[in-house]
Structure 1
Amino acid sequence: MSANVSETLEPPPSVSGPRPHHKRFVKNFLIDRTFQIKYTLLIALAGGIIFGSVEYFFYDKVRENSELAGLTEDPELALQLQVELAAEDQKVLVELVGYWLLLVTLLVVVGVLATHRIVGPIYVIDRYIQRIKEGAPVHPRPLRKGDEFQALYNHVNEMCEALHDERRHDHDVLALVLTDLAVRLEQLERDSPEGMANASMMREVLRPAREMLSAKRAYLDAPVVT
C-alpha cells in the first residue's frame, strides 16, 4: 500500500512542536514498514551480493597482477615495487568498498520508493473498503502519476461512484414514496375520525422508513472524503 494518502485519518498534530524530519520521512514513505523493509532489504541484499562478487574477482586479479609486477631480480627494486603496489592495492580496495556501499545505499532508496508506489495505492484502497464497510461515503480521487495499480484503483473508483449513485437513487425513490404517503394520510385524516386513527397508526408503521431516509440523507450530505 504516501503523504497524499493520509489526509483524513491522521491523528491531530502533536502540541509539542513540529515532528523531526526523519519521522516525517518514515510516515510519508514507509506506509507499510514490514512489507517495504522486507522487500527493500531483499533488493539491496541481492544487488550487494552480485556487485560484491564482481568486485571480489576484480580485486583478486589486481592483486595477482601486482604480485607478477613485483617479480624482479633486484631485491631493492622488488621491495620498492611491493610497497608501492601494496599501497595501490589498498587504494583500489577502499574505492571498491566505497562503490559497494554507494550501490547498496542507492538500492535501499530505490527499494523504498518503488515499494511506496505499490503500498500507497493499496493503503488508499484499504481505507475506502473500510469506509464502505462502515457505511460511510467515499469519493475517490485520482492516484498520483507513477503509482502502481492504476487499473485496479479505477475499478474501485467506479464501484464507489456506483454505490453512491445507488444510495442517491434509493433516497430519491424513498423520499418520493414517503411524500406520496404523507399526502394520502393527510387526506385519510380529513375523511373521518376512524381515518385519523388509521393515519396515526400508519405513521408509526412508517417511522423506520423515515429514519432510513434520514440516514440516507446524512450519507449523501456527509463531507467529501478522498
Structure 2
Amino acid sequence: MAEWRRRTYLVDRSFQIKYILLLMAWGVVLSALFGLWTYQAHQQAIETVVRGPAQRALVDRADRQLMWPLVGIGALSVTALGLLGFVLTHRVAGPVYVMGHFVNLLAQGRYPTRRALRKHDELQGFYARFLDAIEAMKERDERHVGKLEETIVLLRGAVARVPELGVALEVLEREVKDRREALAESTSPAAGVFPLSLEGRGQG
C-alpha cells in the first residue's frame, strides 16, 4: 500500500485565473512599452552613428540577434508575473474557501473544528477573529441548550398535573437532543475539505 497526496492548486478557479491573467496582461503591456522604448532609442542611436551601407548591414544583423533575447526576457517577465499571481491568489483563495465551508456548516447547525491556516497564507488575523466568533456562537448555543435542559426538567414535573404539556415537552426534547448532537459532533475540515493541501490515500 502506498500513500499519495493530491494538492488542489486552483482552489477558486475563476478568482485565481482572473488575477493571474490580469498580472500577465500587465506584463505583456510593460514588456511591449519597454521594447518600444528600446527600439526607438536604438533607432536614434543608429541614425547618429551609422554612416555607410556596410555599417548598416552589420547593425541590422546585430538587431536580429538582439531581438530574440529581448523577446525571451519579455516572455520570462510575463511568466514570472503569472507565477506571482498564482502564489498570491493561492494564499488568499485557500483561507476564503475554508471560511466559506465553515459558513456552510454553520448554516446546517453544525460547528467546525478549529484549525490553523498554513504559515504563509494570507488573512491570518481575519481568520483568527472568524474562529473566535464561531467559538463564541458555540458557547452561547451551549448555554441556551443548558437552559432548555433545565426547562425540560421542570416540564417533566409539571406534565403529571398538566398533560397538555406532554406534546410540547417531546418537541423540546427532540430539539435539545439535536442541538447536543451538533455541539458534540467533531466536524473537521481536514481531508477532502481543506483546499490548500487536499490529501487522499490510495493503493499502489
Normalised by the length of structure 2, the TM-score is 0.77
The amino acid of 1:90's aligned partner reads R
The amino acid of 1:146's aligned partner reads H
Question: In 1, are the aligned partners of 2:155 and 2:169 still within 8 Å (CA)?
Answer: no
The amino acid of 1:92's aligned partner reads L
Aligned counterparts, 1:128-143, within 5 A: 128-143=102-117
Residue segments in structure 1 that go unaligned for 5+ positions in a row: 1-17, 73-77, 189-194
Aligned counterparts, 1:1-226, within 5 A: 28-66=8-46, 68-72=48-52, 78-79=53-54, 81-179=55-153, 181-182=155-156, 184=157, 195=160, 198=161, 201-226=164-189
Residues in 1 aligned to 2:168 and 2:77: alpha-carbon distance in whole angstroms: 73
Normalised by the length of structure 1, the TM-score is 0.70
Number of residue pairs matched?
186
Question: In 2, are the aligned partners of 1:59 and 1:93 still within 8 Å (CA)?
Answer: no
Alignment partner, residue 3 of structure 1? none
The amino acid of 1:177's aligned partner reads T
The sequence identity of aligned pairs, in percent, is 25
Higher relative contact order (CA 8 A, sep 6+): 2
Which protein has the larger Cα radius of gyration, Structure 1 or Structure 2? Answer: 1
Question: In 2, are the aligned partners of 1:175 and 1:213 still within 8 Å (CA)?
Answer: yes
Q: How far 1:88 moved relative to its partner?
A: 1.4
Residue segments in structure 2 that go unaligned for 5+ positions in a row: 190-204
Deviating more after overlay: 59-68 vs 41-50: 59-68
Question: In 1, are the aligned partners of 2:92 and 2:122 still within 8 Å (CA)?
Answer: yes
The amino acid of 1:148's aligned partner reads E
The amino acid of 2:32's aligned partner reads G
